[in-house]
Amino acid sequence: MAKILCVLSAIVFVVKTDDVSEFNATITAVNITLNSTVNRTIAFKTPPFSLFSTTTTTKANKTVLGKKNMRKKNVDVKRIDQDEDGKHETKNGTADVNKAPDCPPLGLKSLRVDDSQFQASSYLRMGLGPHRARLNIQSGIEDGDMYDGAWCAKYEDQHQWLQVDALRPTLFTGVILQGRNSIWSWDWVETYKVQLSNDSETWKTCMNGTEEAVFVGSRNEPETPYLALFPQPAVARWIRINPQTWYWNGTICLRAEVLGCPLPDPDNVWQHLSEKLPGSKDNLDFRHHNYKEMRKLMKAVNEDCPRITRIYTIGKSYTGLKLYAMEISDNPGKHELGEPEFRYVAGMHGNEVVGRELVLNLMQYICREFRRGNPRIVRLVTSTRIHLLPSMNPDGYETAFERGSELAGWALGRYSYEWVDMNHNFPDLNNIMWDAKENDTETVKTANHYIPIPEYYTKEDAFVTPETRAVISWMQDIPFVLSANLHGGELVVTYPFDCTRDWAPQENTPTADDSFFRWLATVYASTNLVMANPDRRICHSEDFQQHNNIINGGAWHTVPGSMNDFSYMHTNCFEVTVELSCDKFPHASELPTEWENNKESLLVYMEQVHRGIKGVVRDKMTKKGIADAIVKVEDLDHDIRSAADGDYWRLLNPGEYKVTVWAEGYFPSMRRCSVGTEARPTICDFILIKTPRQRMNGILAKGGRLPQDLQLKLRAMRLRKLRVSTKAINQRRERSRKARGTRSARAPRPLTPLA
């Protein structure tokens, strides 16, 4: 038995030694002694325990944490300072840091670090306890509740500290700090020290030569994250942040992230056997893709699966970056009669990057599984035309990507280049409909669908981003049936209406299809591994688990001009918003886990496009499809229209429905359609008979009016105007870009010495 244990121990330590080899630049030896009773000792030979701070300011400081070249060789170290962008300068002294590894965040921001791993010397109240000291955590609207936006010490002195237990030996390499998130308070830490311990009792302060190192924290405002990298990392289990000075008119408050590489635990030989390894079994490209890398990935998928994929563009961003979309279908490039159209839109807010990477992963996954003959994926591809738009706001993403996952903060890159929130940039059709309904009469009824774009929105001087214009045009070209708008920063699925009536800040504002929207939201939320976990921690300040992780958009907060509402009221498409992750811009090491959390949800949500009824509306004489026929379901005050070929799709929950179809110049037709519980649509075709000419003449002779689809004509006219103004704006912007490029090329270049 002793021999068996010895062999098993040796096997375990082979695995452990492989892990340690990643850090052999700093940990010069791992000595392992084994005997038959599995006694073992591991001695880590590390650099001196004292730690210093940061590196000289370089362009690499702007990149995503985890990339190479984040350090400079032989950095001068005497005093640590930072510039206004959160990057760092060091002066007077030297420290060789070229061998230090690039370690990921410990997981304060991503919630991988549990609340129980935090401690503090004191805290002002429970809502400002140490568990709230997470980078980018957001407070509620009111201060003083259980969910404030930082850890704040009870006392204002230099003996206060925030402590994090890494639970295992960790190679600590740096700290990121920002101040308190609050509408009403203004607090941050300006300088701090760092201490480390292996037993939580004996602490060693990071040294700067013969003096204790002092790191610079926040400057002038609390939201920008500031990074301090240690030029000589050291191994410990516990780390403390010890504030030294703070904003003169505030108190000691901070949010933080810690950078560190986990190491094998010398006191736990079975660690590798008991640990649940994070990540994914799918071999996908799990990393952050900037614009150039995104194009490469999409091209690679298209080359791997040319028979089922097509790359196209729907427009350009303000700076001229193309809005690429990928179509996945068994007949790409063509709408097939009776086949529903589905879309995922990600990156409306450029810094909410999880959706972007999930959509790119989804492309790869569908391509690979289709080639493998996965029956579920083959069925999805052959029965659905799928459109994937990974980046609606590429300008914003590039801004956030340049700073990196931990340094972009909460809002950098959210808005368009013109500083517009695109989820408030679509036409507000809700209030147009509600105002018109207040003036309804028996002879004039307000339309409940296909509501035209308002006139002001079509003008060249309308404050509408080119990205929003491009998406609206895309919606007109393709008869989408179902969509999801992928966001980040919370864990919840919201459904229309997003805008409340009478401008109430919060009010449940259901649509006529509220029950089906609730079904759609539940399908995604209940299959998402994190949302479905009853023991999960709330992200920031709102507990959506009490609503089963779904909520009406207006009941959360009013959003006039949202894409969800516009899609529902201007087109046939039902759309929800999915808030995918507490962390808007997680470190690349978190992406495999995010994929596993959302993979099933992404697939099962797409399959909902096949619920309800579908069919073709045809002319009885010619047998041709009738475009723009109105499909009305009794007791549901929201109609849809047939597509150009006469086919239609009406999403419905199981039940019996009385359906009436009408088109201009035809008698209406009615039939009953039954929807089952199976995830496949009920076929309900309609044959319409043209109104006889003599009947029309008789109506006119009596002074009557023929029923006309004036709303459809107005909608088409406004869309033409929008496209004309968009074309003029794009041409003017392109000429301006070319002119700037010409001036730049003609400008004299500064002389530079030869290398």
Q: How many helices (H) and strands (E) does the chain have?
A: 14, 30
User: How does strand 492-495 pair with strand 574-579?
Assistant: antiparallel
Euclidean distance between CA atoms 106 and 115, whole angstroms: 13
Helix (H) or strand (E) segment spanning residue 204: strand 204-205
User: How does strand 162-178 pair with strand 226-246?
Assistant: antiparallel
Helix (H, G, I), strand (E, B) or coil at 200: coil
CB 365 within 8 A of CB 280: no
Centre a 10 Å sphere on the Cβ of residue 462 and count the other Cβ atoms it contains: 17
Q: Residue for token digits 């075709």?
A: 685
Helix (H) or strand (E) segment spanning residue 386: strand 385-389
Three-class HEC string of 79-112 = EEEECCCCCEEEECCCECCCCCCCCCECCCCCCC
Which own/partner contact pairs does 305-313 have at CB distance under 8 Å and 24+ positions apart? 305/367, 305/370, 305/371, 308/332, 308/367, 308/370, 308/381, 309/363, 309/367
Going by C-alpha positions, the residue among 43, 172, 165, 170 that lies closest to residue 100 is 172
Going by C-alpha positions, the residue among 580, 547, 581, 576 that lies closest to residue 562 is 576
89 counts as catalytic? no
**How long a stretch of residues is the chain?**
755
CB 426 within 8 A of CB 472: yes
Q: Residue for token digits 């097509």?
A: 310
And the tokens for 650? 């009406």
Cross-strand partners of 640: 631
Angle value at C-alpha 336, between 331 and 340, nearest 5 degrees: 105
**Active site residue: 579, 590, 594, 607, which one?**
579
Within 13 Å of residue 637, how many CA atoms lie on the same side as its CB?
A: 10
Helix (H) or strand (E) segment spanning residue 576: strand 574-579
Catalytic residues, by residue number, are: 579
